[in-house]
Amino acid sequence: MKYSKFSAHVLGFNANGQCLLVKRRDIPVWVIPGGQSEPKETPKETALREFWEETGIRLKEKNLTLAAYYLPHNNQIAKYTFICRLKPACKPIKTSESSAFGFFSLDNLPHPITFYEKQRVYEASGKHFGDIIIRSNAVNIIKELINLLSHPLLLLCLLFRYFYFKKIKPNKSKY
């Protein structure tokens, strides 16, 4: 039986209404904590595991509320975005997957952050524990390119990673 990959993310809010974002170690960009599923994991289990791996904070499944479900588009995978309220005792730490973290208000999100990620933050936070957003996982390439042009260092980093990993992929044998 084939396992269907998806990703799950948690947008946590503190008592001041600020959201917790992490800066990735592999690509220096701010993101909602989360990542890809492992076999037999539910979306909530993936979200809890990834949130812990990236922030050092352990959450309970009952505290997660689904805010958005992004349908697979072309070769992309489905994405789940959960929201939760973080207790004051929850203190994030740097981990092997994140180089920094911070709580940010919606009108003061950190840089660099992709247009797509910003859109997901706004959509999830705008629901504030209400209706669930369901839409395609399509990325608006034009808006993303305009956003990347305002962050040339991020653009160079992404281009380097793309061409570096494209170059080292193993050749497919014909036998």
Residue 158 has pLDDT above 50, yes or no: yes
Residue 139 has pLDDT above 60, yes or no: no
Task: Output the average pLDDT for the chain.
Answer: 82
- pLDDT band at 36; cut points 50, 70, 90: very high
User: How many Cβ atoms are within 10 Å of 46's Cβ, its own excluded?
Assistant: 23
User: pLDDT of 74-127, one tens digit each?
Assistant: 777 889 999 999 998 889 988 898 999 999 999 999 988 888 888 889 888 875
**Looking at residues 122-145, what average pLDDT do you find?**
65
pLDDT at 5: 87
Q: What domains can be seen in the chain, in order of their start residue? A: 6-138 (3.90.79.10)
* pTM of the predicted model over 0.85: no
Q: Quick check: 110 and 102 in contact, CB under 8 A?
A: yes
- Of all helices (H) and strands (E), which one includes residue 120? helix 115-127
For residues 65-84, one letter each, b for 16 or more C-beta atoms within 10 angstroms of the residue's C-beta and e for the rest, the string is: bbbbbbeeeeeeebbbbbbb
Most confident of 48-52, 89-93, 108-112, 138-142: 48-52
Residues 6+ apart with CB under 8 A from 129: 65, 67, 83
Name the nearest CA neighbour of 31 among 108, 118, 104: 118
Residue 171 has pLDDT above 60, yes or no: no
